[in-house]
Amino acid sequence: MNTVITDAADLNGILFYDADCGFCVRLAGRVRPWLVCRHFQLLPLQTPGCREHLGLTEAELLAEMWLLLPDGQKRGGADALLEIGRHFWWTWPVRQLARLRIVKRWLRGGYGWVARHRHCADGVCKVKKGRRL
């Protein structure tokens, strides 16, 4: 696995995911072929220098996946998925719906819920029991 942050100019972006999350690692493995052929690189959030390169705090970094674009812009979570979706023709309907503020809010909320519960997918949930979401 490549764990070096390379020059993003030759890429459509670098997608950073949580390598300490089994769910995230499995998902990254499944989508890697699709993303690589569209010139995206996948790297763990735990890559040395990642936090500084993205200009995020530790809490921000690990809260969601991050996409670094060639021009230096970054997108997190659902916004990263929508940006990646621009490279897949079949995501057009979702991207058009996401132009509506309420739909984008739902997508961000849904992504946030999954991100907060991603460790539960391995059967060991780190979310406190009794806490209502």
1 lies in a domain? no
127 lies in a domain? no
**pLDDT at residue 33 tops 90:** yes
Tally the domains of the chain. Answer: 1
57 lies in a domain? yes
Residue type, 42: L
- Rounded distance, CA 17 to CA 29, Å? 11
64 lies in a domain? yes
130 lies in a domain? no
Give the pLDDT of residue 119.
82
pLDDT above 70 covers a percentage of the chain that reads: 83
Beta-carbon contacts of residue 102 (< 8 Å; ≥ 6 apart): none
89 lies in a domain? yes
Element spanning 104, H or E = helix 101-117
36 lies in a domain? yes
Structure confidence by residue, pLDDT tens digits, 89-117 = 999 999 999 999 999 999 999 999 999 99
pLDDT band for position 63 (50/70/90)? very high
Per DSSP, 8 falls in state: G
Name the residue range of residue 71's domain.
8-122
**pLDDT at residue 48 tops 50:** yes
Beta strands (DSSP E) in the chain are 13-17, 40-44, 66-68, 74-76
Residue type, 106: W
